[in-house]
Structure 1
């Protein structure tokens, strides 16, 4: 993974030129990625234009996705990822550090020059661009359906993550594989991002023929996009064949600081993101529930800010701990959401109790629960299963946008525990660095 990052002109200005031209300000702030692409002697452009080079590009795209999602130990003070930052925007974490950009996420009062979000924005586009480049160059070698399928799913997930956590107005520019001029993308609405993701997942399923794991990655991804569009029954149908035991992980390693799991680094090592409990009045009781799905310890010392009691997550208990990107558990949760949306409490209860039995958890009793209460009961279960995997902010937004609940009843609201109040804003802005794109319009919504 790291070799790819040390190629300034690799991909014939494909993966990185898009970032350089669109996100000029990132050149000075992306400590763990952009400033390392200065040594073309490690992986030359010519060496990438072959079958072995394609594996390097594939690994680079997966590595960029890992950094965008989980963060890493690289960079000054380590690197934040979308998982912890979106957890702050929702109800999973309280910020127990001192960086103002992270406190902005904790209160949802974000500026479009936010350092952390600029970096995540760039890394997520790097993962997408690298995957698209790999797909384009495969044509030179007769194609490889399995690599194409995996990379198409990575592109699809990048669109989903932007749609769930950012406002509408994201542009997806492209650097052609032949080294031509950058093609500036047009701003897309949230709905357009979800729809585009579905197109990529459909392609991934076609190329995954015979490889059940890759097909299931695409099925879960497509269903997630369908949920975002409010097509809940279609989402449930999409994952009906995905086995519960299926999982596709974002991998981490202690081979290098960049490959380390940034969630572990930012929590256990640096004590900056503390597990919340009833955040902003509406947040779930992640600690008080004493639930095996959200293991934690702490409460006896302060976080990095020396004023906030620190509660450490134990779900990711090492720098090499993987993070699930798609799973069969998520497939069952999607089916449960369809049942909850249909006010079918019996099916919701059966699905959840089937999942809970796999961990020895006691049964839920949803007798007599209906309407919004049933949906909230389901979303609470979903939150414990998918804790700290970049789902919760998107889930809370879906409760508002698709299921019609007031934001003030599902997001943390009111007084902020360090002073001030939580903002009514529910999403990350398009970074100002995108204004280098002549099509830039800021947030559409």
Structure 2
């Protein structure tokens, strides 16, 4: 079971013009379809296409300098390491991200735009008396995943503002990390309650709901939420070679530009994504980075049109396995993980359609795992399996934070720490465990303030 969101140039596709050359020269609000220009339900696809396009930009990035959450979360954690000299990204890799960081402002804005566009699209379906339309279900799930990504990757205190039909801003109140996940669950619940929801839409909302429940530490509820999701379910964000805006952003910044490569045991605590030679993380060991230094090239996204998985049956099984771990059922957890490792459908889902000639993924290397002797060992095994199955899909930062928040592990033993080294660049890792709110959000009068300064870089707190 599989579905896609195609990256669209929403404004270009949505509204046609008559063959009047004079009208072609009269342009207002370039690149924007104003709500007041949409007068009936025939234009609802405009809003949905815009939301889908904005989410693709925010999630997997583009070829136009939009990093996307999959890139930036991987760079912040132990998935990618920088092999260029871009100072603002260097700070991300070293976990020393300031609210003034110019790169981070654009990434935050992209995700904010995706969230707002999805909620606006959902509202338009209600406005035009189509609350049960399939498009509204898609819009609600996009909004749910947007809130989830904010909760997993950013500090506590993200504000969610709205823009009315007259372009007037209603400034939102900052939400805590838990509140963001609660907002996500509310969106998924709304989608699941709509009559006529398709099987794949239901599975997508179920996996999203399970993911947010896991983030809240409601492990059994999370497992129950995804219990019926089939292993063959997969919902992908589709990229394209049609335009740079539609390129896969991970391919762009790794393969096309060489900005960062696959990390290996980064900062001492990072996983061995290279030396493990695990077929779930294919790479080219001989590749060079932007600085012409060694930079193992990820091959999970080997082409500009490579697809990015948003949710699938594999993630559902991993959620079930974690609930078993929390119940102390180490044998059950291991059985679930081993069934997943041996499942031909799961393996097929991790084979890129356009893997370069000469590169192969040897899934016979995924031999059965032994039952861990202790709960700590079982925890480490579960999170390692999650890291390799979900590599490069903006799950790793949320998982590392959960190891600190839910499993009481010190951040210094989870995140890359100590001395930083990458192709001759040296430094020291910071203590950040999430991404800050950009200083631009200081314009929101609801942002917490002390005098004229924004405390905690605009966050309520920087805790995991």
Tell me if TM exceeds 0.5.
Answer: yes
Match of 1:147 among 129, 132, 135: 135
Looking at structure 1, the residues matched to 13 and 103 of structure 2 have their Cα atoms a distance apart, in angstroms, of 22
Q: Is the 8 A contact 2:125 2:133 kept in 1?
A: no
Match of 1:429 among 421, 436, 442: 436
**Secondary structure of the structure 2 residue equivalent to 1:263:** helix
Structure 1 residue 120 and structure 2 residue 107: aligned? yes
Identify the residue that residue 135 of structure 1 maps to in structure 2: 122
Q: Cα distance 1:157–1:43, how it changes in 2: closer, same or farther (>3 A)?
A: closer
Q: Is the 8 A contact 2:372 2:378 kept in 1?
A: no
Structure 1 residue 169 and structure 2 residue 142: aligned? no
Q: Cα distance 1:368–1:129, how it changes in 2: closer, same or farther (>3 A)?
A: closer
CA shift at 1:300, angstroms? 5.1
Identify the residue that residue 249 of structure 2 maps to in structure 1: 262
Greater shift, 82-91 or 204-213, is seen at 204-213
Identify the residue that residue 236 of structure 1 maps to in structure 2: 223
RMSD of aligned Cα (Å): 2.0
Structure 1 residue 70 and structure 2 residue 60: aligned? yes
Match of 1:157 among 135, 145, 156: 145
Identify the residue that residue 372 of structure 1 maps to in structure 2: 376
Structure 1 residue 330 and structure 2 residue 337: aligned? no
CA shift at 1:395, angstroms? 0.3
Q: Deviations over 1:61-102 (max 9, x none)?
A: 11111111111112xxx3211111111111100001111111
CA shift at 1:220, angstroms? 0.8
Looking at structure 1, the residues matched to 304 and 226 of structure 2 have their Cα atoms a distance apart, in angstroms, of 31
CA shift at 1:299, angstroms? 3.1
Identify the residue that residue 172 of structure 2 maps to in structure 1: 185
Q: TM-score, normalised by structure 1?
A: 0.88
Identify the residue that residue 290 of structure 2 maps to in structure 1: 304
Looking at structure 2, the residues matched to 217 and 349 of structure 1 have their Cα atoms a distance apart, in angstroms, of 25
Looking at structure 1, the residues matched to 381 and 438 of structure 2 have their Cα atoms a distance apart, in angstroms, of 35
Q: Is the 8 A contact 2:137 2:197 kept in 1?
A: no
CA shift at 1:6, angstroms? 10
Q: Is the 8 A contact 2:10 2:53 kept in 1?
A: no
Structure 1 residue 397 and structure 2 residue 404: aligned? no
**Secondary structure of the structure 1 residue equivalent to 2:310:** strand
Looking at structure 1, the residues matched to 187 and 407 of structure 2 have their Cα atoms a distance apart, in angstroms, of 26
Match of 1:54 among 44, 48, 63: 44
Matches within 5 A, 1:342-357: 342-357=327-342
Looking at structure 2, the residues matched to 6 and 419 of structure 1 have their Cα atoms a distance apart, in angstroms, of 47
Identify the residue that residue 459 of structure 2 maps to in structure 1: 443
Looking at structure 1, the residues matched to 261 and 92 of structure 2 have their Cα atoms a distance apart, in angstroms, of 14
CA shift at 1:43, angstroms? 5.2
Q: Deviations over 1:278-326 (max 9, x none)?
A: 111111111111111100003353x1123x4111000011111111111
Q: Deviations over 1:233-257 (max 9, x none)?
A: 1101110001111011111111111
Q: Is the 8 A contact 2:330 2:378 kept in 1?
A: yes
Q: Is the 8 A contact 1:208 1:214 kept in 2?
A: no
Q: Is the 8 A contact 1:149 1:208 kept in 2?
A: no
Looking at structure 2, the residues matched to 234 and 295 of structure 1 have their Cα atoms a distance apart, in angstroms, of 33
Q: Is the 8 A contact 2:134 2:197 kept in 1?
A: no
